[in-house]
Amino acid sequence: MNRLALGVSPRGAQALYRATQAFAMVEGRDYVIPDDVKRLVIPVFAQPDSNQRSRPPWPNAAPRLSERILQEILTLVEVPL
């Protein structure tokens, strides 16, 4: 985990909060579940790496570094019960 220089900004956290609320609504719920958060963390938080400004157009491209780090965090952190 020593590869992180900065965490997510307050605006980024707010974006995840709003995205999970919207996703729950689309799913027909008026509440957010942990799986909603796990599903949206990477699309909301992952930023292009400095040496790779955009995602490659092919679907089987290797994940960017930011996506790999976020996936590692999601794997390590247990969902509270």
Per-residue pLDDT tens, the chain, 81 aa: give them.
566 677 888 999 999 999 999 999 999 999 999 999 999 999 998 865 555 555 555 555 566 788 888 899 999 988 877
Q: What DSSP state is assigned to residue 5?
A: S
Helix axes 65-76, 34-45, angle to 10 degrees: 160
